[in-house]
Structure 1
Amino acid sequence: MVTEGKIVDGCGIRVIRNGRTVRVGVLDSLRRVKEIVKEVNAGLECGMGVEDYDQWQEGDVLDAFNTVQKKRTLEEASASMAATLEGVRVEL
């Protein structure tokens, strides 16, 4: 049962058991009423398969997430460099 948000095919999945993460993988199968679907919204039941994982136990909690790769802007790089060099003294 999806309790919050939505599950999207190909998203990242974190398997949590007894409060500890036991597996992080990629969702490779998502089904709703025997049909392959692209997403399932909160309040609906679905079947899921995670790449190279089949050690499910009753009570496992699945946390779905998307990874977004973002390029740093020149301003962010400059601020990061300034913070790194703050307090560093260089003599030539």
Structure 2
Amino acid sequence: MYGTEGKIVDGCGIRVIRNGRTVHVGVLDSLRRVKEIVKEVNAGLECGMGVEDYDQWQEGDILEAFNIFQKKRTLEEASASMAAALEGVGVEL
């Protein structure tokens, strides 16, 4: 695998794309660089990866690494989304 942009971090989410379709979404469970176990690999470097519960790789697969995090909404964001929802059903504030 060769990273083209960003970085790959151990434990991140991995999306496997084949012919423009997502065929698997899982969690990166091993990351190696020159036979060493590493925590992250930056763009432009080759690495080996293992994805939890997936081994059906094909030549040409595209892998996207991503992180998921939860963010608490602010009062302003909640108020704006509520106002938009009410406006969508014809209620004016």
TM-score (norm 1): 0.89
**TM-superposed deviation, 1:67:** 1.0
CA 68–32 in structure 1, closer or farther in 2 if over 3 Å, else same? same
CA 45–90 in structure 1, closer or farther in 2 if over 3 Å, else same? closer
What are the superposed Cα offsets for residues 22-78 of structure 1, whole Å, 9 maximum, x if unpaired?
Answer: 001110100011111000011111000001000001111101111121111111111
TM-score (norm 2): 0.88
Secondary structure of the 1:86 match is: helix
Query: Post-superposition, which runs of at least 4 consecutive aligned residues in structure 1 deviate over 2 A?
Result: 87-92
2:86–2:92 Cα contact (<8 Å) kept:
no
The alignment of Structure 1 onto Structure 2 pairs a total of residues equal to 90
2:12–2:27 Cα contact (<8 Å) kept:
yes
Percentage of matched positions with identical amino acids: 92
Superposed counterparts of 1:1-92, under 5 Å: 3-86=4-87, 88=89
**TM-superposed deviation, 1:86:** 1.8
Unaligned runs of 5+ in 2: none
Q: Distance in 2 between matches of 1:89 and 1:8?
A: 46
Unaligned runs of 5+ in 1: none
Q: Distance in 1 between matches of 2:45 and 2:39?
A: 14
CA 84–43 in structure 1, closer or farther in 2 if over 3 Å, else same? same
What are the superposed Cα offsets for residues 11-30 of structure 1, whole Å, 9 maximum, x if unpaired?
Answer: 11000011111001110100
Q: Distance in 1 between matches of 2:77 and 2:71?
A: 12
